[in-house]
Amino acid sequence: MNIDENFKKFSLSKEEAKKKIEKLHQEINYHRYLYHVLDKEEISPEALDSLKKELFDLEQQFPDLITPDSPTQRIGGKPLKEFKKVKHPTPMLSFNDAFSKEDMYAWEKRFLDFLGNHIHHSDKFYYCELKLDGLAIELQYKNGVFVCGATRGDGYIGEDVTQNLKTIEAIPLRLLDKKEVIENLKKEKLDHIVKRLEKNFPDEIIARGEVFMHRKDFEALNKEQIKKNLKPYANPRNVAAGSIRQLDPKITASRHLDSYAYILVTDLGQKTHEEEHLILKAFGFKINPYNEPAKNLEEVFAFHDKWWKNREKLPYEIDGIVVILNNEEDFKRASYIGKAPRAAIAYKFALKQTTTQVLDILVQVGRTGVLTPVAMLKPVNVGGVTITRSTLHNFEEIKRLGLKIGDTVIVGRAGDVIPQIIQVLPNLRTGKEKKLEIPSLCPMCGSKIIKEENGIIYRCSNKKCFAMNRRCLYHFVSKTAFDIEGMGPKIIDRLLDEGLIRDAADIFKLEEGDLAILEGFGEKSAANLVQSIRNHKKINLRRFIYALGILHVGEKTADALADKIISIKKIKRPMEILEIMEKIPQNDLETLEDIGPKVAKSIKDFFEEKNNRELIKKLDEADIEIETPFKELKKLQGKIFVLTGALNSITREEAKEQIRQLGGKVSSSVSKNIDFVVEGENPGSKIKKAKELNLKIIKEKEFLEMIEKGE
Ligand code: IVH
């Protein structure tokens, strides 16, 4: 199987992209309707986010396929009927999402290209904020008094939830007075703002922020719900949103919500987004102390990483970070892309559920011969780690899921750990999907497959097949072969049983998330093992040959074979071994040290066998790099001698030993591959044959010179 080929197979032409985009519209709209209007959930909000991201990426690839009704072009839900409507002074927009560094680089490029050369450079180029997982609100103050608070609604018109917001202590009912504000601004050294406000203190302030619930309050509330035999709430965000939309403010008050302000809509001359926060603070708003400027994307990544690791330590939930171009003038000039600001982005934490595509379903033969289907996935980050495959356990599971090759699926991590296909999204099918046929013959050895009584388990009938494969894998990773630390027989067994590997090459394709099935394996040990595997992608030729597990080829023979290959060509890739081995005839191999006809045949057979050639090709594709350490070539390196007749000043055994020590080989029979025939006294019939073959014949004197001085 070649994943790249499958990638191509499923990559879309413009016509196909158009169809896929339409299908994504329908699917996203359907789930949004369920979620927002009917209060139902068929897929998680995270999976829905992932679908939106897929649509966004496809639209970036084919921008002329963006339609005004695309779900990427809209903002929130419609305002509820019960509340008074409030028109926002400027639209309350949502941001585009990024899920990876690549997405962030693409975002940076998009807005930099748009802004061109005229851009303000600074050590505080970006401003990073914790992305609170709550509900966006807008707060209006007249002469310092809180007069109106609204939800986002559809982005243009929101709901008036003033009474409810007044119950939240973090939201000031009255702002600080002019003297205090100016005092505070002076402390922050915002002299240009001070100057402006001293002259003209605003009678209206509009700010935006987020209302959210602390985790401990959420847990307490759910305990109450359970006590009252009521359904527990799904997450703090839903409760925060629900609490704000309560018609009875007493209920809102009982929910202990919190709030941070993060946007100052009113123009007070703020030059950066950071200043905006300081001004908000000077007026008495609560701002998040963990927000920070960043010099470049590297610093943004460090901020993202720090908060991904520390998110559990916060008393409230965050679902990523918000990154904004700090300079206000450039930010404004960057304007909008679709309906989101071009120079701001929500860089979300890895989703625990996400959508991806099943590129193929492989049938693996486990440690005990049980066939296990495994979905090969378009690599995707789930909950912080990349997964490339997901075990399907058995063929029943494929039936249960209704899964076909090429399907778009939702993947998650069961118990937050084990990668799993949760659901197939059949509405997104393009017609190219294929059903998996249960094989009747073993994909490894071609023997018959037996269906066991329970009708779920299929097993290869050839015990030797899987036992041998298992042993080969143990050998492959062992100390004297690839020496992959941390990967012993126990782990190999587990990976085989789950169908995550079938052959040695599969080991090099494992990603951190794929190892989650290993019991007692935390993210750290998975990361270590993946690192250990990657560190062993470079291997010297002798070890590589030994690791292949060729019958009768031990370390010493592998050494001799490696020398022979190197004497022909200094190779770098596994495929080159195949090319060279094709050129070495069996009788040539027989001239190598320790290699008799039996071993030579075994070597020849190995490199001719289809499965072995396939494995070497796969190892090549897995980027295994062969190292051929520089060995000083010996005087007679690779030269083959035949000795005939008696030598005077040296015994035959001594002569053989000398030749070997100088890197040469001694053969007992004459053939066209012989480099020198040493003719002693009373030579045998070998001389006749050597003459017939036109070989180079040397006398004892010449030979002695050769072994003393070389050729
Ligand atoms: S906005 C451009 N800051 O995330 C101004 N929004 O997906 C930068 N959100 O609609 C500051 N935490 O409801 C900003 N610290 C934060 C936020 C935040 C959560 C929400 C907000 C927005 C959505 C975007």
Rounded to an integer, what distance in angstroms lies between the CA atom of residue 374 and that of residue 419? 11
Residues 479-522 pLDDT 10s: 889 999 888 898 998 888 888 898 999 999 998 888 877 777 77
For a mutational test of ligand 1's pocket, the pick from 322, 330, 337, 345, i.e. the residue with the most ligand atoms closer than 8 A to its C-beta, is: 322
Q: Is the CB of 210 under 6 A from ligand 1?
A: yes
Q: Is the CB of 280 under 6 A from ligand 1?
A: no
Residue nearest to atom 1 of ligand 1 (CA): 262
Q: Is the CB of 325 under 6 A from ligand 1?
A: no
Answering whether pTM is above 0.85, one says no
Q: Is the CB of 263 under 6 A from ligand 1?
A: yes
Q: List Cβ neighbours of 250 (8 Å cut-off, separation of 6 or more).
A: none
Residue nearest to atom 21 of ligand 1 (CA): 136
Residue nearest to atom 11 of ligand 1 (CA): 262
Contact 486, 507 (CB under 8 A): no
pLDDT, position 563 = 87
Beta strands of 507-639 (E only): which ranges?
538-540, 625-627
Residue nearest to atom 8 of ligand 1 (CA): 324
User: 135 CA to middle of ligand 1, Å?
Assistant: 9
User: Strand, coil or helix: what is 153?
Assistant: coil
For a mutational test of ligand 1's pocket, the pick from 94, 131, 154, i.e. the residue with the most ligand atoms closer than 8 A to its C-beta, is: 131
Q: First-to-last CA distance in the chain?
A: 51
Scored b (16 or more CB within 10 A) or e, 67-78 reads eeebbbebbbbe
Strand 449-451 relative to strand 458-460, pairing: antiparallel
For a mutational test of ligand 1's pocket, the pick from 262, 303, 319, i.e. the residue with the most ligand atoms closer than 8 A to its C-beta, is: 262
pLDDT, position 444 = 83
Residue nearest to atom 12 of ligand 1 (CA): 131
pLDDT, position 710 = 44
- The ligand 1 atom at the shortest distance from the C-alpha of residue 136 is 13
Residue nearest to atom 13 of ligand 1 (CA): 136
User: 291 CA to middle of ligand 1, Å?
Assistant: 12
- The ligand 1 atom at the shortest distance from the C-alpha of residue 131 is 12
- The ligand 1 atom at the shortest distance from the C-alpha of residue 130 is 15
User: 511 CA to middle of ligand 1, Å?
Assistant: 32
User: 322 CA to middle of ligand 1, Å?
Assistant: 6
Residue 569: other Cβ atoms inside 10 A:
13
- The ligand 1 atom at the shortest distance from the C-alpha of residue 344 is 2
The CB-side HSE value for 297 (13 A sphere, CA atoms) comes to 15
Lowest mean pLDDT among 7-11, 529-533, 583-587, 632-636: 7-11
Residue 296 above 50 pLDDT?
yes
Q: Which residues are catalytic?
A: 131
Residues 52-73 pLDDT 10s: 989 999 999 999 998 877 888 7
User: 37 CA to middle of ligand 1, Å?
Assistant: 23
Q: List Cβ neighbours of 326 (8 Å cut-off, separation of 6 or more).
A: 122, 124, 125, 126, 127, 272, 273, 274, 293
Mean pLDDT, the chain, rounded, equals 89
Beta strands of 499-571 (E only): which ranges?
538-540
Stretch 627-646: mean pLDDT: 79
Residue nearest to atom 16 of ligand 1 (CA): 131
Joined together, the tokens standing for residue 518 give 């290993």
User: 587 CA to middle of ligand 1, Å?
Assistant: 74
Strand 371-382 relative to strand 353-365, pairing: antiparallel
Residues 307-364 pLDDT 10s: 998 998 999 999 999 999 999 999 999 999 878 999 999 999 987 889 999 999 999 8
Residue nearest to atom 4 of ligand 1 (CA): 131
Rounded to an integer, what distance in angstroms lies between the CA atom of residue 361 and that of residue 372? 10
Q: Is the CB of 126 under 6 A from ligand 1?
A: no
pLDDT, position 328 = 97
Contact 247, 305 (CB under 8 A): no
**Nearest Cα to 541, choosing from 470, 630, 607, 474?**
630
pLDDT, position 55 = 93
The length of the chain in residues reads 711
- The ligand 1 atom at the shortest distance from the C-alpha of residue 346 is 7
Scored b (16 or more CB within 10 A) or e, 16-44 reads ebeebbebbbebbeebbeebeeeeeeebb
Q: Is the CB of 95 under 6 A from ligand 1?
A: yes
Joined together, the tokens standing for residue 527 give 């990361």
Rounded to an integer, what distance in angstroms lies between the CA atom of residue 215 and that of residue 317? 7
- The ligand 1 atom at the shortest distance from the C-alpha of residue 133 is 19
pLDDT, position 292 = 97
pLDDT, position 80 = 53
Residue nearest to atom 22 of ligand 1 (CA): 94
Q: Is the CB of 137 under 6 A from ligand 1?
A: no
Residues 357-378 pLDDT 10s: 999 999 988 878 889 899 999 9
The DSSP element (H or E) to which 195 belongs, if any, is: helix 191-199
pLDDT, position 410 = 95
Q: Is the CB of 262 under 6 A from ligand 1?
A: yes
Residue nearest to atom 23 of ligand 1 (CA): 94
Q: Is the CB of 318 under 6 A from ligand 1?
A: no
Stretch 34-53: mean pLDDT: 79
User: 11 CA to middle of ligand 1, Å?
Assistant: 34
Q: How remote is the C-alpha of 510 from its chain's centroid?
A: 10
Residues 366-417 pLDDT 10s: 878 889 899 999 998 887 788 898 989 889 999 999 999 999 999 987 666 7
Q: Domains plus CATH for the chain?
A: 12-74 (1.10.287.610), 97-348 (3.30.470.30), 352-449 (2.40.50.140), 538-631 (1.10.150.20), 640-709 (3.40.50.10190)
Stretch 98-125: mean pLDDT: 94
pLDDT, position 632 = 57
pLDDT, position 173 = 87
Q: List Cβ neighbours of 549 (8 Å cut-off, separation of 6 or more).
A: 471, 472, 475, 476
Joined together, the tokens standing for residue 155 give 């982005």
Q: List Cβ neighbours of 685 (8 Å cut-off, separation of 6 or more).
A: none
Q: How remote is the C-alpha of 551 from its chain's centroid?
A: 37
